[in-house]
A and B are shown apart, each in its own frame.
Chain A
Amino acid sequence: DGGITQSPKYLFRKEGQNVTLSCEQNLNHDAMYWYRQDPGQGLRLIYYSQIVNDFQKGDIAEGYSVSREKKESFPLTVTSAQKNPTAFYLCASSEDRGTEAFFGQGTRLTVV
């Protein structure tokens, strides 16, 4: 089945540690996105990539980093510089910029 897979579903991190969230898609989509969702809030864009080996900062990129070495993979690293990392993280992909985005099931990150 085609789709987007995020792993893990739940993740716990100690303060001061970096952690990497996985996002893989087999839809052959060019564009991939990372969003952050806080309780009672909408989705805020962290980073997006429109093609392999290229990515742009979204609205809240500070404290995060990404890579796009392969078309199907777009991992997100939450660094220790992110002061409030506890949130629900959503990865999405689309055929092209400005078209329907398909979402993964999310990773819930908790800092302990």
Chain B
Amino acid sequence: GESVGLHLPTLSVQEGDNSIINCAYSNSASDYFIWYKQESGKGPQFIIDIRSNMDKRQGQRVTVLLNKTVKHLSLQIAATQPGDSAVYFCAENIAGANSKLTFGKGITLSVRP
């Protein structure tokens, strides 16, 4: 089975509010995590990443938090905009000779005007 999962399949937020998207992972050997955004009919786009030696990383309007104790990853989007509506995936990389990215099922973010 997949080692990366998401708590909620859909998230609806009001424009201007902050969004929080959560992700759980089960492999303690994972050392690198990425959040991707995918718009309909397109390939995923990189949003932000974080390595396991960090617990927080900030970008423009986005923050990723990593809690290794409970194996939890979250993506916070500040002042959510209509253009943020998309499917969001977390991905983890398990360190090792054949390390590769494993993706969760995704969560749909819908922004209400």
How many A-B contacts at CB < 8 Å in the complex?
A: 62
Closest B residue to A101 by beta carbon equals B101
Closest B residue to A88 by beta carbon equals B41
Tally chain B residues at the interface, Cβ within 8 Å: 26
Of the four ranges (under 10, 10 to 19, 20 to 34, 35 or more), the interface on chain A belongs to 20 to 34
Flag the segment in B12-20, B55-63, B68-76, B91-99 that touches A: B91-99
CA distance A70 to B58 in the complex (A): 37
B43 x A105 contact (CB < 8 A): yes
B-facing residues in A77-112 (Cβ within 8 Å): 90, 92, 97-106, 108
Q: Which residues of A contact B81 (CB under 8 A)?
A: none
Q: Which residues of A contact B101 (CB under 8 A)?
A: 33, 45, 98, 101
A42 x B103 contact (CB < 8 A): yes
Interface string of B72-113 (1 = CB under 8 A from A): 000000000000000001010101001111111110000000
Partner of A33, one of B46, B89, B100, B106: B100
Q: Which residues of B contact A97 (CB under 8 A)?
A: 93, 98-100
B98 x A56 contact (CB < 8 A): yes
Q: Which 10 pairs from chain A and chain B are nearest by CB?
A: A103-B43, A43-B103, A42-B105, A98-B99, A42-B103, A98-B93, A97-B99, A105-B43, A103-B44, A106-B43
Q: 13 A-B pairs, CB-CB below 8 angstroms?
A: A33-B101, A40-B106, A41-B105, A42-B103, A97-B98, A98-B32, A99-B32, A100-B46, A101-B34, A101-B46, A101-B101, A104-B43, A108-B41
